[in-house]
């Protein structure tokens, strides 16, 4: 997109519809036809917009196909599909995808291990978000014990029980 002039219709369409390119292909809307400004006001659904965008560039088409296969492998937690993707030659992919594939190759064991384990770190990330929110709202506590108590109260920690007077 950076290689295109800013007045180009394709650059405008890519800027406007980039979210569709990163959306999972299984979640694209095939039924609702809307007026699309980047395509002369044509009535198109999301799938047709993707088809028109990828038809303009072989590099974009290759990157989109690779990305969708990767999403499919991660969604279905398929080690076989991931292995096939990582066997793809680097020279067959666009430059940004080459860097992503190198990273995936370096962390392949960890990714496959994550397919086998049901654990995720959502609760930990939620607790970290609560702590950041308290820090932002409180503008600094005077004493650390009070700050710690506030975190335990808000995070509903199983390690801390609040005794209420009955």
Residue 89, token pair as written in the block: 């030659």
Residue 45, token pair as written in the block: 């659904």
The answer to whether 49 and 39 have CB atoms below 8 angstroms apart is yes
pLDDT over 70 at 46, yes or no: yes
Q: Give the mean pLDDT of the chain.
A: 87
pLDDT over 60 at 130, yes or no: yes
Annotated domain spans of the chain: 1-56, 122-155
Helix (H, G, I), strand (E, B) or coil at 142: coil
End-to-end CA distance of the chain: 66
Percent of the chain clearing pLDDT 90 (strictly above)? 53
Instruction: Tell me which of 27 and 141 has the higher pLDDT.
Output: 27
Tell me how far the alpha carbon of residue 3 is from its chain's centroid.
Answer: 24
């Amino acid at each position: 997109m950076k290689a295109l002039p800013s007045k180009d219709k394709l650059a405008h369409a890519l800027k406007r519809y980039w979210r569709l390119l990163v959306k999972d292909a299984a979640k694209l809307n095939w039924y609702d036809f809307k007026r699309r400004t980047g395509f002369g006001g044509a009535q198109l659904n999301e799938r047709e917009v993707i088809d028109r965008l990828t038809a303009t560039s072989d590099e974009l088409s290759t990157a989109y196909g690779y990305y969708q296969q990767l999403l499919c492998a991660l969604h279905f937690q398929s080690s076989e599909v991931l292995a096939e993707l990582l066997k793809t030659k680097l020279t067959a992919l666009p430059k940004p995808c080459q860097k992503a594939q190198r990273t995936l190759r370096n962390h392949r064991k960890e990714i496959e291990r994550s397919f086998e384990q049901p654990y995720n770190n959502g609760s930990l990330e939620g607790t970290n978000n609560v702590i950041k929110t308290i820090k932002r709202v409180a503008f600094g506590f005077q004493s650390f014990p009070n700050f710690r108590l506030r975190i335990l109260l808000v995070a509903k920690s199983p390690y801390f029980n609040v005794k209420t007077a009955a």
